[in-house]
Amino acid sequence: MAVRVLPRNERTVSLRALPLISFDPLIALAAGGLGACSLVVLHGAAPAYVSRQAIYLAVGFVVMLSASRLDYWRLRSIKWLLYPLMIGSILLVIGAGSAVNGASRALSIGGVSFQASELGKVLLIVFLAALVADSPRKASATELTLKVVAFALIPAALVIAEPDLGSGLVYFAIAFAVLFVAGIPARQLTVLALIAVGAFVFALVIAPAIGLHVLKHYQEQRLTGFLSPSQNPNSYDHQQVESVIGVGAGEGTGRGAGATQTTLGLVGTEAPTDFIFTVVGERLGFAGAAFVLSLYALIIWRTLRIIGAARNLFAALIAGGAVAMLMFQVFVNVGMTIGIMPITGVTLPLLSYGGSSVLTTFLTLGLLQSIYGQARAASAPRSRALRV
């Protein structure tokens, strides 16, 4: 059958055809709810951060609305601009970044510090999705897998060297999810998973045993500390022990305002960022923690729906990468504060204080909204698949 090739602008649904509100209201609602929770929790834990976080959230919301109006399809053609942009910005931070906690993770621009590793997450999602979607059909699955892994490995290694182990692991999760959604055979995915496990065992067990330290000492301690919580307050898992106690002390409905002061001093300066969920757990109790988690579940459920409804591979892969990013960050961060995951320094999307993290998450959600809007507009006449 002859294939009619249409002019480029007809390939996708014209934006003019979209209704003004063409995005998933549930995602927007959940995101807004998480932002509100962030402000409430910060208000009790670190009032000084509230106003800045409010600005980040407001700007982020606008970024999401703007991105939802963008044609995500165009990103596919500029993938070779996105990748150097990501690598370049990470290198810039490493080169000229301001030292925070002895690490160079952020670049200070006019008083606002910019974490390239955060923006890198969404850039990597789009790039890998485009890379896979554009690969020739006759290319073997192995070749594709190797390409994706190689392109993900470079930024991940750079970010881990910053050192920002958490973001580096998110990059791997994204790459794995993109391959998973792309339909790479299960056998290859199993091999990849085994390699990942092997790398961890090497970095944490074998290499230190032979005197080679791939990770910094504190990273090793954090990654293994949760397995055997110690009573030694100078050990690196001390924060985690205090965090678990703090979350538990929240009981059913939380200890309310002020009570957090007791654990805050022990969790330390990272309470507004990496350990924000500790404050949620202690102040708002099981009810509040469950509410926050249900908002994340809502976003993840809607994102999975978007994968299923996507009309092309590129869109499905973007949504797949996004869902991996969100799931990984939520589970690893929350797991860290409740003592079932190691301390890796991953932020909790939309809840943790920090402009780079908030904006990156909103940008990702905006892309999802763009995919949703186009899929819905295209399928509206024929299908109700995406009706809420």
Partner 1 sequence: MIERPVERRAPLPPVLGRRVELLGLLAFVLFAVVAFRLWYLQILTGHRNVSLANANVARDIAIPAPRGEIVDRQGRVIANVRSAAIAAIVCKELPATAAARASLYSRVGQVLKIPESQIAKTVGRCDSFAPVTLEADIPSAALVFLAEHKAAFPGLIEEQSDIRNYPDGTLAAQVLGYVGDLSRSEEADQNFAGVPAGDVVGQSGLEYTYDRYLRGRDGVERIQVDAAGVPTGRDLRGTLPTTGDSLVTSLDLPLEQEGLRAMQTAMHLAHLNGYPASAAAFTAIDPRNGQVLAMGSLPAYDPNVLSRPYISQSQYAQQGAGDAFINRAISSVFPTGSTFKPIASLAALSSGLITPSSLLGATGAGGCLNISHQAFCNSGHVDYGASDLAHALEVSEDTYFYEVGALANSRGPLIQDIAHQLGLGAPTGIDLPNEVSGYVPSAAADARLDREYMKAECTHGKHGAFCTSGGPIPPWTIGQNVQLATGQGQLQASPIQMAVAYSVLANGGYVVTPHIGLAVDSPTGKLVETLPAPKRRAIPRTEAANIPAILAGLHLAAQAPSGTSYDVFGSFPRTVYGKTGTAQTVTGNPHDNQSWYVCYAPDPKRPIVVAVTVERGGFGDQAAAPAARMILAKWFGLPERVVRGTGTTF
**Footprint of partner 1 on this chain (CB under 8 A)?**
3-6, 10-11, 132-135, 137, 177, 180-183, 231, 233-234, 238, 242, 244-252, 255, 259, 262-263, 265-266, 281-282, 285-286, 289-290, 293, 297, 300-301, 304, 307-308, 310, 312-314, 316, 320, 323, 327, 331, 334-335, 338-340
Q: Pick the closer one to partner 1 by CB: 32 or 339.
A: 339
Minimum gap (Å) between residue 218 Cβ and partner 1:
13
Helix 276-309 with 355-379: angle, nearest 10 deg: 20
Determine the longest span between alpha carbons in the chain, in angstroms.
Answer: 72
Q: Pick the closer one to partner 1 by CB: 35 or 250.
A: 250
Minimum gap (Å) between residue 119 Cβ and partner 1:
24
Q: Pick the closer one to partner 1 by CB: 224 or 312.
A: 312
3-class state of residue 13 by DSSP: coil
Residue 294 structure tokens? 């249900």
Q: Which residue has the tokens 């590129």?
A: 314
Q: Which residues pair with 99 in a beta bridge?
A: 104
Minimum gap (Å) between residue 114 Cβ and partner 1:
30
Minimum gap (Å) between residue 314 Cβ and partner 1:
7
Q: Pick the closer one to partner 1 by CB: 90 or 336.
A: 336
Q: How far apart are CA 365 and CA 362, in angstroms?
A: 5
Q: Pick the closer one to partner 1 by CB: 29 or 293.
A: 293
Write b or e for each residue in 110-128: b if 16 or more Cβ atoms lie within 10 A of its Cβ, otherwise e. eeebbbbbbbbbbbbbbbb
Minimum gap (Å) between residue 281 Cβ and partner 1:
7
3-class state of residue 332 by DSSP: helix
Q: Pick the closer one to partner 1 by CB: 97 or 246.
A: 246
| Strand pairing class (98-100; 103-109) | antiparallel
Yes or no: say if 347 and 329 are a contact pair by the CB < 8 Å rule: yes
Q: How far apart are CA 45 and CA 40, in angstroms?
A: 9
DSSP code, position 184:
-
Q: Give Cα 64 to chain centroid, integer Å.
A: 15
